[in-house]
A and B are shown apart, each in its own frame.
Chain A
Amino acid sequence: MELVCPAGNLPSLKSAVDNGADAVYFGLRNDTNARHFPGLNFNEKRAREGINYAKSRGKRVFMAINTYPRPEGWERWRQAVDSAASLSVDALICADIGVLDYASRAWPDLNLHLSVQASSTNYEALAFYHDAFGIKRAVLPRVLSLSQVEQVVANTPVEIEVFGFGSLCVMVEGRCILSSYVTGESPNTHGACSPAQFVEYRETPSGLESRLGGLLTDRYGKDETAGYPTICKGRFAVGDNTFYAIEEPTSLNTLALLPQLHRTGIKAIKIEGRQRTPAYVGQVTKVWREAIDCCLKNPQAFVAKSAWSDALDQVSEGTSTTLGPYYRPWQ
């Protein structure tokens, strides 16, 4: 069971490698990947440096080209695939059928992983990408329960990677356009959900307001910490109630489920957070390394240590965590 960690920049990549990641994933500095944030990601020179750093320490490097090119952007995505091949990454993480088709034809020796953004939640969908493009691995959207993950693993020749920790998309990735409904830009088209240039905080007599594209996503009381105005984490009115109608501002933490996840037969656990600091990446990687080692040594006796949770809470700024969709009652 491999630990796959986020690298938003070179210091984060090194931090992940130094703290026990088996593999790291990164993207280029443009809209070809789903964490297209200002100041983040790699140019080719930095990527080469990072890849050398990881490979010389026996670690693998994956590159994400996991957004959906429209015809006017096609050349940029094609060039990104060619870059990945020339950088000799260990795998390319893709979502778009056209990009996968190009990569598998132009670079038949390049390993392909299906991105979570491809929105594939069942083994028939995975069979499509396996038959058409020979994908080696797939990252499952954060919508399946544990038993559903197990069902997928049992019926596919493709290795399965699941999210273990980090921000929680409550919608099925790759098929959510709430962001573009309000801003005109979505993860699929622009590589970012709720892009920063549309975010606004306003101090008002009734409290601090957060807005996305002008739309009021939440209002905070004096003792509340303002969150990032992602639509799915806002407070809205439905009927007579105003509440977190879609999801509380919580993040995913599956440490407690590690033995069960292992038993499903998954090949890798993914940590979300390319937008996070190197210190965050290091701390989270360290905890998960220890937890996975513990679990692999003796799954029956595995108990999530409170020291791990404390260490994770420290970097997660005390936000609450959830087992998410893996735990059926959450649904």
Chain B
Amino acid sequence: MTMTPKLSLGPVLFFWSRETLFDFYDQAAEMPVDIIYLGETVCSKRRSLGSNDWIELASRLSEQSDKEIVLSTLALIEAESELKTLRRLCDNGRFTIEANDIGAVQILSKKGIPFVTGPSINIYNSASLDLLASKGLKRWVLPIELSKQTLGQIQKHRPEGVETEVFCYGRMPLTLSARCFTARSHNLPKDDCQYKCIDYPDGRILSTQEQQPFLALNGIQTVSAKTCNLLQEIPLLKELRVDILRISPQSLNTGKIVDAFHRALHNEETSDLGQYMPLGACNGYWHGIDGQTEFNSPH
């Protein structure tokens, strides 16, 4: 008898306004997700919500519902001011932290606080998972480029008490840089970016010279233009004893996507998600091939 995996809502990767974020999380409180990750993971210049706002929002959501609330940290930490924000989040005293940089792992493990690692922490093998578990890791998210085969092998030797989460839906975070590509696309330097990324709530599309949409620029982060969708893989995800399926928020229809996953988890009929993925679906990484491909496995 396999357990039914839980559903999580990953941190919003894009720059949304304060009102948009509050509206989104009012709706999220009603969605059939078990875990909500909150926080700015991409750019420290984005301050529609500051760290105290995120902590307050976390408190409000945990009072409104019985969902687990986790605070997510910045993935690329370069400046002292970013370390200060990181320490403030780690010291919140109440909510679990999703560490997206090893710096966060260090701060939390030194304090003896159990933590979750996000997809940008490189855990590619059991030895890495074991070492981090000894430092207080209680849940990890499979790195984006790893396959079901790799996951299966790591799951066989998973340390006691460690939960596994898989990024199952959304534009995939592919890379980070010192440079802001959204600003660059407006011919602006990062230090004078004018917060242009607020105009692209799902990233700004980059296409090849053959008009093939390829990537989406999200400030210093680059995500896939296609949307990763593992809805069809739920039977295998269950078989591999994955504890949590992550849905990465998008500007429209996130609630409908969550509903589809919730129904599929409970063996109910689901509608096709194609209409919610403007530039198509992909699942290549899961199948051990190039990430952009949509591989239709026979069921």
Contact = CB atoms under 8 A, between A and B. Distances in A.
Contacts of A259: none
Given A99-B127, A128-B102, 9 more contacts: A102-B127, A122-B82, A142-B178, A148-B78, A176-B176, A177-B145, A180-B291, A188-B122, A246-B179
Interface string A72-87: 1010000000000000
A145 B211 CA distance: 35
Interface residues of B, number: 71
Interface stretch (B25-33, B64-72, B182-190): B182-190
A95 B123 CA distance: 11
A311 interface: no
B144 interface: yes
Interface in A43-92: 68-72, 74
A213 B78 contact: no
B208 A97 contact: no
Nearest to A100: B131
Contacts of B288: 184
Interface of A: 68-72, 74, 95-99, 101-102, 118-125, 127-129, 131-132, 142-145, 148, 151, 170-172, 174-178, 180-184, 186, 188-189, 213, 215-219, 235-239, 241-242, 245-247, 325, 328-331
B252 interface: no
Contact of B174 (A131, A132, A145, A176): A176
Nearest to B144: A177
B78 A96 contact: no
B253 interface: no
A125 B76 CA distance: 11
B78 A122 contact: yes
Interface in B17-35: none
Interface of B: 75-80, 82-83, 86, 101-107, 109, 120, 122-128, 130-132, 135, 144-146, 149-150, 153-154, 172, 174-181, 184-185, 189-191, 204-212, 214-215, 217, 222, 224, 284-285, 288-292
24 contacts: A69-B124, A70-B153, A71-B150, A72-B149, A74-B125, A95-B122, A119-B122, A124-B83, A124-B86, A125-B103, A128-B102, A148-B78, A170-B178, A171-B177, A175-B75, A178-B175, A180-B290, A180-B291, A182-B292, A183-B290, A184-B290, A238-B185, A247-B179, A331-B191
Contact of A331 (B150, B180, B185): B180
A102 B131 CA distance: 10
B186 to A, nearest CB: 8
A138 B106 CA distance: 16
Given A124-B107, A236-B209, A242-B209, A175 B120 contact: yes
B145 A170 contact: no
Contacts of A328: 191
Given A122-B78, A170-B177, A186 B145 contact: yes
B158 to A, nearest CB: 12
Given A175-B175, A178-B175, A328-B191, A71 B209 contact: no
A5 B179 CA distance: 27
A195 to B, nearest CB: 12
Nearest to B187: A241
B195 to A, nearest CB: 16
Nearest to A324: B178
Contact of A219 (B146, B209, B211): B209
A122 B101 contact: yes
Nearest to A68: B124
A97 B176 contact: no
A215 B106 contact: no
B205 A331 contact: no
A236 B206 contact: yes
A176 B153 contact: no
A100 to B, nearest CB: 8
